Amino acid sequence: MDFYVGIDVSKFKHTIAIIGEDGEIRKKSFDISNSREGFDSLLNELGLLGQKEQIKIGMEATGHYMNCLVRCLNSNGYQVQIYNPSLISRFRDSESVNLAKTDSLDAMLIAKYAATHPFTSSPQISYLIGEIRKITRAKYFLFGDRTACYNHLLRYLDEIFPEFVPFFKKNEDGTRKNMGRNLFDSPTIRFLLSEYTSASKMAKMRIETGETLRRMSKGAISFNRFNQLRELAKRSIGYSTEVDEQIVRNLIDQVRMIDEEIDNLNEMLSPLMDELNSPLLSIPGIGVNLAAMIIGEIGDINRFSNPEKLIKFAGLDVKIYQSGTINHKGRIRKRGSPILRYALSLSVQKLRIHSPVFSEYYYSKIKQGKATNVAIIATTRKLIRVIWKMMMTNQVFENVKRD
């Protein structure tokens, strides 16, 4: 007889329910602590049920809270399937509209779902991909921290020197500059803001500083530009206190530290990607960092039997509403991995420049009258299909393109 184990995962404890294939409760729901003692007690209970191949364990995807438990169960030879929480939620609604929600009932519900639906053990993510995922997620959150620092810098500059940012968004002749990156990514701008933290201090910059800025910017800040900045600073409406200036220096220091952390993570990432030798690196415009983020979020490609499932995982499938004569397609669901969507959106931006295949596809959608966002989403879905094919067959981009 097969046994079905439902586990409701939480931060400090996990609730366990066990039923037989006939639906009968084999053991009353019980809790284990998220500790070695708790894991050992669960393994003892499972050992009393019978052979490991007879035991099917299900749990909801709960981010990092489930990782230690899943590793423990897998390493001891047990089959574990991870379910999308939305599936369990819909199953709960189908069971009873008045079903209460407790940890014990949730564990029992997961066990019943595992018993009444096809069970496929979720694959263990390989060590390499697991390490790549940790690094890319750490970088993703560091990007968010850096963006927060940039936003705070803008907020203080609006008071200290409100003319500063508009000045650097224009060329020397006054035309608007095509900004390929954030203004604060520039080492020259960071140096300027850390050394001269107010308009009044920039107004008093010496000519030697102008030479330093010219060298650092590789001529982008000429002596004429430098003099324009000093004159602008003299006429500035900005006002600052010692506290404002110290905060600006602190923010610049934080940005530098974040960049150092990102560089350290990149050094750890490079040998892992070399060892993995993914075919995604053959896609024009997609380098190590983007490929790593995509690979880390997708994990084992074999869990997606077709590219449409991968599209849904990325949250790029379209909502469809049908009722009688009404047939309406809405927006994308955005219910999948936000980090994967982030990596794919950056990849499409680069592919529109570096890949004739994707550039032609994107502009063909524009010529059909599609809005820019619609064309980008369509191009992203095409990229996902290509990525699925490349990862499933281990083919490089040129070979997949000809298929």
pLDDT one-digit tens code per residue, 67-99: 889 889 988 999 898 887 878 888 887 776 556
Is residue 232 scored above 60 in pLDDT? yes
Distance CA 197, CA 203 (A): 11
Is residue 122 scored above 90 in pLDDT? no
Distance CA 7, CA 10 (A): 10
- pLDDT for the residue 128: 86
* Nearest-5° Cα angle at 355, 351 to 358: 70
The residue that leads in pLDDT, 289 or 303, is 289
Q: What are phi and psi of 140, to 5 degrees?
A: -60, -45
Which of 113, 116, 221, 103 minimizes the C-alpha distance to 170?
A: 221
* Nearest-5° Cα angle at 206, 204 to 207: 140
Is residue 16 scored above 80 in pLDDT? yes
- pLDDT for the residue 328: 45
| 104 contacts 7 by C-beta, under 8 angstroms | no
In the numeric block, the tokens 């600006």 are attached to 248
- pLDDT for the residue 65: 82
CA 180 from centre of chain: 22
Return the amino acid letter for 195: E
| 325 contacts 302 by C-beta, under 8 angstroms | no
Distance CA 381, CA 357 (A): 14
Is residue 324 scored above 60 in pLDDT? no
What would the mean pLDDT of 5-33 be, rounded to a whole number?
Answer: 90
| 161 contacts 202 by C-beta, under 8 angstroms | yes
Terminal-to-terminal C-alpha distance of the chain? 47
Distance CA 196, CA 157 (A): 12
Between the alpha carbon of residue 260 and those of residues 65, 210, 257, the distances in Å are 29, 27, 5
Concatenated DSSP letters of 139-191: HHHHHHHHHHHHHHHHHHHHHH-TTHHHHHTB-TTSPBP---S-GGG-HHHHH
* Per-residue confidence band for 66, with pLDDT thresholds at 50, 70 and 90: confident
* Per-residue confidence band for 234, with pLDDT thresholds at 50, 70 and 90: very high
Which residues, including other chains, have CB under 8 Å from residue 47's CB and lie 6 or more apart? none
- pLDDT for the residue 6: 93
Angle formed by the axes of helices 356-367 and 338-354, nearest 10° = 100
Which of 317, 314, 281, 278 minimizes the C-alpha distance to 298?
A: 314
The residue that leads in pLDDT, 12 or 94, is 12
Is residue 394 scored above 80 in pLDDT? yes
Helices and strands in the chain, H and E counts? 17, 7
Helix (H) or strand (E) holding 101: none
Is residue 209 scored above 80 in pLDDT? yes
Q: What are phi and psi of 83, to 5 degrees?
A: -105, 145
- pLDDT for the residue 386: 94
Is residue 307 scored above 90 in pLDDT? yes
Which of 385, 401, 364 minimizes the C-alpha distance to 316?
A: 385
Average pLDDT, the chain: 88
Is residue 171 scored above 90 in pLDDT? no
The residue that leads in pLDDT, 333 or 306, is 306
| 26 contacts 48 by C-beta, under 8 angstroms | no
Distance CA 359, CA 342 (A): 19
What would the mean pLDDT of 34-41 be, rounded to a whole number?
Answer: 94
- pLDDT for the residue 76: 92
- pLDDT for the residue 121: 78
- pLDDT for the residue 326: 45
What would the mean pLDDT of 274-289 be, rounded to a whole number?
Answer: 92
- pLDDT for the residue 97: 53
Helix (H) or strand (E) holding 79: strand 79-83
Distance CA 309, CA 285 (A): 25
Dihedral sign for Cα atoms in the order 306, 312, 318, 319? positive
What would the mean pLDDT of 183-190 be, rounded to a whole number?
Answer: 92
Token pair of 328 as six digits: 């309406």
In the numeric block, the tokens 């960049």 are attached to 259
Token pair of 183 as six digits: 């203004």
What would the mean pLDDT of 272-298 be, rounded to a whole number?
Answer: 93
- pLDDT for the residue 329: 57
What would the mean pLDDT of 323-350 be, rounded to a whole number?
Answer: 75
Distance CA 56, CA 73 (A): 11
* Per-residue confidence band for 327, with pLDDT thresholds at 50, 70 and 90: very low
- pLDDT for the residue 124: 65
* Per-residue confidence band for 241, with pLDDT thresholds at 50, 70 and 90: very high
What would the mean pLDDT of 32-47 be, rounded to a whole number?
Answer: 93
Is residue 223 scored above 90 in pLDDT? yes
